[in-house]
Amino acid sequence: MVLDVDPPTPPDLTNRGVPNGAKTAEVMTSESDLRRAELEALLEDGAWTEAFHEWAEYTDLTEADFREIDSEGLFDELDFYWDPVEEALAFDIPDLPDAWTGRTVFASLVRTELTDLGHAVVEMLEDAYVEWGETEPADGVWSEEALGEEPPQRD
């Protein structure tokens, strides 16, 4: 099923704490080690929209499901970050609203679809927006030179 909706705005990754599932505390020297500001800029530069459209081609969500998830702000609560322990991009999906507790099938579908969207975004970032080299660019900063002038266009 193709979900024919406009992508929501990319998640605001700033002002978030240490990710729930990450074991980053031992190796982090500051919150900037998570590279959220750089990732947010890449999402705003097109990675979010491209990944969303790719995900929307295969999602099992209906437009009504999408609207309900969007109205709860769950797309904005997706969290993307650099995991310095794994030396890889990672993401967390948000907790679902308590009101959905009795809606087991729907809640399961939403968790699955948010996870699939998270994977699509990470894959898009890795494939078209970030040049990894060994683990990160030699100068330790993602830059236009490391990323290229423009990301490759996807068909």
pLDDT tens track for 33-77: 788 889 999 999 999 999 999 999 999 999 999 999 999 999 999
Cα–chain-centroid distance for residue 46? 12
| The pLDDT value given to residue 104 | 92
For 82-120, the pLDDT digits (tens) are 888 888 899 999 999 999 989 999 999 999 999 999 999
Give the other-Cβ count within 10 Å of 49's Cβ. 17
User: 91: closest CA among 51, 145, 148?
Assistant: 51
Output phi, psi for 68, to 5 deg. Answer: -65, -45
Quote the CA–CA distance of 47 and 58 in Å, as a whole number: 17
| The pLDDT value given to residue 35 | 86
Output the CA torsion sign for 1, 12, 18, 23.
positive
| The pLDDT value given to residue 101 | 86
The answer to whether residues 68 and 14 touch, using CB atoms and an 8 Å cutoff, is no
Give the other-Cβ count within 10 Å of 119's Cβ. 13
Helices marked H in 25-81: 36-42, 48-56, 63-71
- Read off the DSSP letter of residue 140: S
| The pLDDT value given to residue 8 | 96
Tell me the average pLDDT across 127-132.
Answer: 76
Residue type, 59: T
Contacting residues for 139 by C-beta, under 8 A, at least 6 apart: 146
**pLDDT at residue 134 greater than cutoff 60:** no
| The pLDDT value given to residue 125 | 93
**pLDDT at residue 150 greater than cutoff 90:** no
